[in-house]
Amino acid sequence: MSTFLSDFVLSFVSLYMAYRFKGLSSIPARAALYAFAIIGISAGLGSIHFLGINALDPIYRFFVGMSGCVGVPLLGVAFYHFGFKHLTEKLFFIKIASLFIVYLLLTYFYPVPIYSTVVGAISMVIVIIVSLKKLSRERMGALYGLAGAILFILAGLVIGTNGSRGPILNVDIFHVMLAIANYSLGNAIMRLK
C-alpha cells in the first residue's frame, strides 16, 4: 500500500507539472510537458499495479521504460535548449522520434538494460552543466535545476528501488525523491531563459 501512495504522489506531481506547461509553445516548455506527462502516466499506472491490479501491466511496463528512455531525456533536451543550442521545432520533433525509436530498438529488439541509466545520466549532467552556467544570471531557476538533477541522481544511484531503509521501502523513497526532483526541474524550466 505504501508503494501505491508513493507512486501516486509521483504521478500527481508529474502530471501537475505537465499541466503547468500546457499551452506554452517554447521548445523547453513542450519538452517538459511531454516528459512530465510520460512520467506521470507511468507512475499512475504504477499506482494501479501496486494496488494489485495487474490487467494494465504490459502498458505499465511500456511506460516505465518510456519514462526512463524518452521522458527523462526530454528534460535534458529542455536544458540543452537553454544552455547550448536553441532547437528548431523540426529538430525537436526529430529528437523525440529518435528517442522513441531507440527506446523501442534497445528495449524490444536488441535489449540493452543499462540504456535508460546512461541516457538519464547524460540528461542530468546536461541539467547540471546548464544550471551552473546560468547560476549567476538566473539564480533561482539554476538552483531548482541543480536540486532536481541531484535528487534524480541520488534517487537512481544511491537509493534505488530494492531493499529498505529501516521500515521504509527504498522504492517509496525513490518515488518521493523523483516527485520532488520533477517539481524542482519543472520550476527550473519555468524560470530559465
Give the model confidence (pLDDT) of 141-177 as tens digits.
999 999 999 999 999 999 999 999 999 999 999 999 9
> According to the model, what pLDDT value does residue 149 have?
98
Percent of the chain with pLDDT over 90: 98
List the domain boundaries for the chain: 2-191
> According to the model, what pLDDT value does residue 193 have?
87
Is-above-0.85 flag for pTM?
Answer: yes
Which ranges of the chain have pLDDT less than 50? none
Give 3-12 pLDDT, tens digit per residue.
999 999 999 9
> According to the model, what pLDDT value does residue 91 have?
95
> According to the model, what pLDDT value does residue 21 have?
98
**SS3 sequence, the chain?**
CHHHHHHHHHHHHHHHHHHHCCCCCCHHHHHHHHHHHHHHHHHHHHHHHHCCCCCCHHHHHHHHHHHHHHHHHHHHHHHHHHHCCCCCHHHHHHHHHHHHHHHHHHHHHCCCCCHHHHHHHHHHHHHHHHHHHHCCCCHHHHHHHHHHHHHHHHHHHHHCCCCEECCEEHHHHHHHHHHHHHHHHHHHHHHCC
> According to the model, what pLDDT value does residue 144 have?
98
